[in-house]
Amino acid sequence: QVQLVESGGGSVQAGGSLRLSCTASSYIYSEGCMGWFRQSPGKEREGVATIYTAGRGTDYADSVKGRFTISRDNAANMINLEMNSLKPEDTAMYYCAAARGAWYECSLGGLSQNRIYFGYWGQGTQVTVSS
């Protein structure tokens, strides 16, 4: 069954904005940690941002800090990614993912240290930024 559903992708010119949303099954959302990842052709998948759904912890990749904002809506089992000042290099397929983890594990650092494992993934939504 569908567990994570992304929406909100599209095409925009450089400097523009897009908002991505991801709705999760309730048991997936309760795992504690959710995040956005992206992958463009020929490149490895990279973490964009994470958020601890039971608290206030967020983490961002350096490449998006100050431009992207991750947020959550617990009532809707949803996370969002507000993307501003978009650049052509932001063009990628964006994926929503979820993991079981505590607040101190829920970060891109925790992921790189193998302290958290994102086992649930959405189908992805395409973001294209033209120059």
Q: What is the DSSP string of 54-84?
A: TSS-EEE-TTTTTTEEEEEEGGGTEEEEEE-
pLDDT at 75 over 90: yes
pLDDT tens per residue across span 24-34: 999 888 889 99
Using 50, 70 and 90 to split pLDDT, how confident is the model at 35? very high
pLDDT at 53 over 80: yes
Provide the H-helix boundaries in the chain.
26-29, 108-112
Amino acid at 9: G
Mean pLDDT value across residues 7-28: 96
